[in-house]
């Protein structure tokens, strides 16, 4: 049974940086011992809508490793400048950009005869990505750590 064995490390994460998802457990034909399909399928759902259907062949270990950051980056934007200052007397109230996006993951394999997605599992976890970069966070943490020394 295809399962998701690795997801982004935090439920709240940044979209601009690695967002790895690993699938394994491709079903095997009991008679031949060969994978019943040559493609893992990872589906990404956002607010009940399918936003990505990604297919990949197993690697030598029989797994498939996906980096979904490019998909997530399509749904986040940076904050507007001075958004925190709106609401002063005479200013119109503004709405912020799509600073975050929720998503869920489904896993399975591609039916070798029809090419359709055969769902094997899904995560109930709702992940939330923001428009930040991971390298910035690492630099900030390093700066705070250095400052404390």
**pLDDT in tens for each of the 149 residues of the chain?**
999 999 987 888 888 888 999 999 999 999 998 899 999 999 999 999 999 999 999 999 999 999 999 999 999 877 666 655 555 555 656 666 678 899 999 999 999 999 999 999 999 999 998 887 765 444 444 444 444 44
| Residue 142: HSE in the Cβ half-sphere, 13 Å Cα cutoff | 6
Which residue has tokens 């002063």? 88
CB 131 within 8 A of CB 24: no
Question: Is residue 134 helix, strand or coil?
Answer: helix
Residue whose tokens read 């749904």: 75
Q: Which residue ranges make up each domain of the chain?
A: 3-148
**Residue 145: predicted pLDDT:** 47
pLDDT digits (tens, 9 = 90+) for 4-25: 999 987 888 888 888 999 999 9
Do 41 and 21 touch, CB atoms closer than 8 A? no
Distance, in Å, from the CA atom of 15 to the CA atom of 59, rounded to the nearest integer, reads 25
Domain spanning 3-148: which CATH class is it, in words? mainly beta
Q: How far apart are CA 41 and CA 30, in angstroms?
A: 21
- Where would I find the H helices in 1-149? 69-73, 134-148
pTM above 0.85, yes or no: no
64 phi and psi, to 5 degrees? -135, 130
């Amino acid at each position: 049974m295809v399962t998701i064995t690795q997801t982004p490390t935090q439920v709240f994460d940044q979209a601009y940086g690695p967002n790895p998802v690993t699938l394994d457990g491709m079903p095997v034909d009991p008679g031949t011992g060969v994978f019943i399909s040559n493609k893992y399928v990872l589906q990404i759902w956002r607010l009940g809508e399918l936003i990505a259907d990604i297919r990949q062949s197993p690697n030598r270990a029989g797994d498939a490793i996906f980096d979904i950051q490019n998909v997530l980056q399509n749904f986040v934007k940076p904050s507007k400048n001075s958004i925190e200052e709106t609401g002063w007397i005479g200013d119109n109230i503004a709405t912020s950009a799509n600073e975050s996006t929720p998503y869920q993951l489904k896993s399975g394999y591609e039916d070798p005869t029809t090419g359709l997605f055969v769902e094997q599992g899904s995560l109930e976890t709702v992940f939330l990505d923001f428009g930040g970069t991971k390298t910035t966070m690492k630099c900030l943490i390093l700066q705070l750590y250095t400052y404390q020394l």
